[in-house]
Amino acid sequence: MRNIKLTIEYKGSNYCGWQKQKNGLSIQQAIVTAIAQATGESVALNGSGRTDSGVHAIAQVANFHTASPIPPERFSFAINAYLPEDISIVSSEEVPEAFHARFNAKGKVYRYYIWNAFRRNAIIPEFAYFAPNPLDLSAMQKAAQIFVGKHDFAAFMAVGSKVKSTTREIYKAEVSEVECPFGAEDGSLICIELTGSGFLYNMVRIIAGTLMEVGLGKRSERQIADALEKGERGLAGQTLPPEGLFLYKVLYEVF
């Protein structure tokens, strides 16, 4: 049996999320089905973590064990032949037997995109949240730094989530304006990029919503520090919708 690591890109708009569910098609299920078609095997596919319905991934990572004779680097081509248009295996490689996409993940990079203009964007509505009122980019950049470091992010987690610890470490928080090749010259495509040890449920979307409110002048840095300190969800900003969120990278130490 070989252990194969996949790097996966997907547009999450038409899926119920990464994880297999009773209702709705999941990304995981679509890939497991394609692997079965390519190899004849029914495999267990371990993702680095779940992504919600509507959330996209540029480089989700997953692994599975197989007895198939397909060369490791060729799995990407073999599986892509059976996948729908909105899921693509970027690359495949053999990794040590012990590698597990979730247990060995040391961190993740997420991006949240906001389309800031007076009018809706018709080309990328599935990839960016539309914020019609002008955002103060430098205020958002400055406020983002408050999140950097090891903090109790209890206030930045969806209510009702069950976790042992709500402490996480953010290594880097960047807010920038990015170019888009598909037009968008009359507005700004704002990118919030967070690199961290791990993220609580809805944490990136709540941080993005909080920073957006800073950009609107509706929330102060002092309020963010207060929310981090008190750990009450009601003290943090709104949860932005899934369409602007991209799992950008999963960080591993050895593999």
**Which residues participate in catalysis according to the annotation?**
52
Does residue 53 touch a copy of itself according to CB under 8 A? no
Residue 86 contacts residue 8 (beta carbons within 8 Å): no
Does residue 180 touch a copy of itself according to CB under 8 A? yes
Phi and psi of 201, rounded to 5°? Answer: -65, 125
CB atoms within 10 A of CB 160: 7
Q: Considering beta carbons, is residue 83 or 224 the nearer one to a copy of itself? A: 83
Interface mask (CB under 8 A) for a copy of itself, residues 156-175, using x and -?
A: --------------------
Give 142's contacts (C-beta < 8 A, 6+ positions apart): 221
**Residue 44 burial (10 A CB sphere; 0-12, 13-18, 19+):** exposed
The tokens 């089905």 sit on which residue? 33
Does residue 1 touch a copy of itself according to CB under 8 A? no
Q: Which stretch binds a copy of itself (CB under 8 A): 98-106, 115-123, 199-207, 215-223?
A: 115-123
Residue 237 contacts residue 144 (beta carbons within 8 Å): no
Does residue 77 touch a copy of itself according to CB under 8 A? yes
Q: Considering beta carbons, is residue 9 or 221 the nearer one to a copy of itself? A: 9
**Residue 218 burial (10 A CB sphere; 0-12, 13-18, 19+):** exposed
CB of 119 to a copy of itself, least distance (A): 6
Residue 43 contacts residue 20 (beta carbons within 8 Å): no
Q: From the list 29, 33, 53, 91, which residue makes contact with a copy of itself (rule: CB under 8 A)?
A: 91
Q: What residue ranges bind a copy of itself (CB under 8 A)?
A: 9-11, 56, 58-59, 76-77, 80, 85-91, 111, 113, 118-123, 125, 127, 178-183, 185-186, 189, 191, 246, 248
